[in-house]
Structure 1
Amino acid sequence: MSRPPLQALIGFAAAARMGNLTRAAESMHLTVSALSHQIRAIEERLGRRLFVRGARGVRLTDDGQALYERIAPHLDAIERALQPRVCRDDSLTITLMPSFASSWLVPRLPRFLAAHPQLEISLQSNIGVVDFARETVIDAGIRFGPGKWPGLEAVHLFDDWVTPTASPALLERLGYPTLQTLGSFPLLGAPGGRWSEWFAEFGGTPPERFVAILDDSENLHRAAVEGLGIVLGRMTLARPLIEAGRLVTLFDERFKAEFAHYLVFPPRSRGHRGLAVFRDWLLEEAQVYEAAEAIPPRHVGAARKATKVVKTPKTTPATRRRKGG
């Protein structure tokens, strides 16, 4: 069987969208007779009626609706692929995780915009995988991952670190854990995750159950802020909360996160001068950030030692005599 002409399918889709043969024919620079002939050819090929004609236009039959739903996404993709892409070096669109935007990039962005006022930057928060072939308006992305994405170039920005963190309110209520007693405190996470690595590396006994399991890092940190439990905090997310006094780290011990932060972009963005400027700035900021992260933030254990209260022992007649009392 020969392939149906693409032009006929495009005409069918136009008539389906507009519900009017005359307007659909005009949009394709055809006569109504020519468009009707194309649609009739598809109907004869399928052996089904695609439209019901009425006084005010046409409407799809059930078979016509099923055909339209199958072909419309493909026709839209062809139309997008054939649209010329205008690349502006003074305009930059970046996709990134909402948590990374709020905790790391946005607080630093004013410095970039002040240094490069001619560059218009647009941030699109997205937690899913971005198809750069389809989303042609997006120039690059910032992602937390393994560093290898098929068909994309990846520039390493910085690693991340994890360490137990908790809210001051929870510590005031339950006291302060040690490495050995940490497993007896309410922990946020899941069995078999990074907590297993923590206890294997630094000792202690993992809990039989976790107080809550959340599938999103930002929600885990939010739950810790609310005093629900101790989170194995990722420093990129936890650092602003620590500086605001809403979380504190419990130990100097920490280990590297499984993934790292990368700037990723498709080959078509290699020559984007605005992206090159943004990449260089990101690398400079990442270097400063990594240097600061080399010094762990002041944790509650150190603060507790600094403010330790020495209790005066009770006096007895014997001690008074020794003191000359």
Structure 2
Amino acid sequence: MPRISLDLLQQFVVAARAGNFSRAAEQTHLTVSALSHQMRQLEQRIERKLFDRGPRGVQLTPEGQRLLDAIGIHIEGMDRALAAYRCRRDEALTVNTIPGVMTSWLVPRLPQLVAAHPELELNLQSSTDLVDFDRDPVDVVIRYGLGPWHGLVSERLFDEWIAPVAAPALMERMRDADPEDLSTWPLLGDPSGRWKEWSEHTDTPMPHRFVAQFDTTDALQRAAVEGMGVALGRMVMARPLVEAGLLCLLGSRYLKIPEGYHLVYPADRLDHVGLRQFRDWVHAEAVRYQQTMGAVSGERKHVPRARR
């Protein structure tokens, strides 16, 4: 058998772990077609089928699983050992955030960061996947949850509030309904989740007209924008849509939830000048945002309100 390159084996491990060539292509900095070609080349060279390819991704065959079990730990060990020797320029910074925070909160504020630090070169990634800082080329992440994250520095940036939101078109259709009483409104989301908390928080009867549930917040809020129903919007993502007139707030109450947004990074990354600059800037922006959202009683003077 001809010698197989280490790059090809590394690409196989990434693809096998990801279970999806699109995600693996992003991690290996290849196109999907190039990565797929590389995997077929590897299968031809070892004369074994490694992947079952389907419309929803790829799965390892028994032969592929055996190869991953045999080489995966060694490839990952080499990546960890070499990580300390990789050149990391102080002006280059890779930031990974969850999609909603990237588009609704981070990107609109980035011009101020670039103006303050024009030498900074940002590489922005949007993902909900866990990051392995020993393996993935990422310097810092922003994550949503309770925190902390074991073995990492975890700094809470700001809290999260939720409130019912609906599209203007739905508001018009339901113009005779009381926005403080949601029992007759079509609702989006999980009735056993946040809606139950909302009912207890507002001391109102549990709504019963749930028309759809979604597995992502982005899909939920998109359905609300299209007028499908009322969603309990997370304000970090819903508030810009309210300010743009795409959604309206129903009633006059918010619910502050335990989860929040955190800056997460390995302790040894603080020697990176770009990370320190980003950290100082994002904390200052978070303080301003927290103060704005913390003024719950006054906030509704600045955003569209539902009509009764």
Distance 2:218 2:265 in 1: 25
**Equivalent AA in structure 1 for residue 292 of structure 2:** A
Which ranges of 4 or more aligned residues in structure 1 deviate by more than 6 Å? 61-66
8 Å contact from structure 1 (residues 250, 300) kept in 2: no
Instruction: Report the equivalent of 1:96.
Output: 97
With the length of structure 2 as denominator, give the TM-score of the two structures.
0.75
Instruction: Report the equivalent of 2:263.
Output: 263
State the percentage of identical aligned residues.
40
Instruction: Report the equivalent of 1:162.
Output: 162
SS at match of 1:256: strand
- 1:106-255 alignment, distance < 5 Å: 106-135=107-136, 137-175=137-175, 177-178=177-178, 181-255=181-255
Instruction: Report the equivalent of 1:286.
Output: 286
- Structure 1 unaligned blocks of 5 or more: 1-11, 19-56, 306-325
The Cα of 1:66 is off from its aligned counterpart by 7.3
8 Å contact from structure 2 (residues 146, 259) kept in 1: yes
8 Å contact from structure 1 (residues 16, 60) kept in 2: no
**Equivalent AA in structure 1 for residue 283 of structure 2:** L
With the length of structure 1 as denominator, give the TM-score of the two structures.
0.71
Size of the aligned set, in residue pairs, is 253
Q: Does 1:78 align with 2:77?
A: yes
SS at match of 1:114: helix
Distance 2:65 2:263 in 1: 41
SS at match of 1:233: strand
**Equivalent AA in structure 1 for residue 70 of structure 2:** I
Structure 1 pair 189–278 and aligned structure 2 pair: CA distance change class (3 A) = same
The Cα of 1:175 is off from its aligned counterpart by 1.7
Map Cα deviations across residues 202-259 of structure 1 (whole Å, 9 max, x no partner): 1322233511001111111110000000011111001110111000111221111231
8 Å contact from structure 1 (residues 180, 203) kept in 2: no
**Equivalent AA in structure 2 for residue 15 of structure 1:** R
Structure 1 pair 120–175 and aligned structure 2 pair: CA distance change class (3 A) = same
**Equivalent AA in structure 2 for residue 108 of structure 1:** R
Bigger radius of gyration among the two: 1
Q: Provide the aligned C-alpha RMSD in A.
A: 2.6
The Cα of 1:91 is off from its aligned counterpart by 1.0
The Cα of 1:201 is off from its aligned counterpart by 1.8
The Cα of 1:179 is off from its aligned counterpart by 6.1
Distance 1:230 1:247 in 2: 10
Instruction: Report the equivalent of 1:296.
Output: 299
- Structure 2 unaligned blocks of 5 or more: 7-43, 50-61
SS at match of 1:80: helix
Structure 1 pair 212–284 and aligned structure 2 pair: CA distance change class (3 A) = same
Distance 2:158 2:266 in 1: 20
Instruction: Report the equivalent of 2:3.
Output: 15
